[in-house]
Amino acid sequence: MDIGNPAQIAQARARLRNLLDDMDSISREGGDGDRRSKIFTDGEGSNLALVARRLLKESDLRGAFFGPASFSDPAWHILLDLFVAAAERKRVSVSSLCVAARVPSSTALRWIKHLTDAGLIGRTADHEDRRRFFIHIEPQAFADMAAYLARISGGTAPVTQEMAAPRQG
């Protein structure tokens, strides 16, 4: 798939939205774990997660050379961390995301609110502890991140329907 083609990107996004709707249905109905685990398996999706991890490590290395405040980008760190978590089917707590943002908690919380208000990320309550929330990347943001990561990785990891991020919740 040519990542630069807007029509194909739109089709990939639509397929991702459909898969995410399926994931929500499976979660609500207590569906089968086998189907859920096939949504994001080894292949293109995990390659993109590796690209995201590389970007996070490069940011840490840049901070080691120039100081962490020199290139602070909490919104980007949050999105990258949530993309990787979705790829690995892990839930991310607010406190964990604050650490991933690489800024003070108060700053990270403001960025989480901003990204939530922008519709890029969402919150779901922990069913076991109603005081706690998990944060997830929204389907459109996930599709955009996948397209971006595929583009910067030289287009070797095309956006496919297997790259749908399971919603956390």
Question: What are the tokens at 167?
Answer: 């919603």
In this predicted model, what pLDDT tens digit does every residue of 129-150 receive, in sequence order? Answer: 988 999 999 999 999 999 899 8
Q: Which pLDDT score is estimated for 66?
A: 84
Which pLDDT score is estimated for 99? Answer: 94
Statement: residue 95 has pLDDT above 60: yes
pLDDT at 72: 76
CA 67 to centroid of chain Cα atoms: 26
CA trace torsion 81, 87, 92, 97 (10° rounding): 0
90: how many CB neighbours lie within 10 A of its CB? 13
pLDDT at 105: 95
Q: Which two tokens stand for residue 4?
A: 């630069």
**pLDDT for residue 60:** 86
Q: Is the pTM of this model over 0.95?
A: no
CB of 116 closer than 8 Å to CB of 123:
yes
pLDDT, tens digit, 9 for 90 and up, residues 6-60: 776 666 666 655 555 555 544 444 433 333 233 344 445 668 899 999 998 988 8
**In the predicted model, what is the mean pLDDT of residues 146-168?**
63
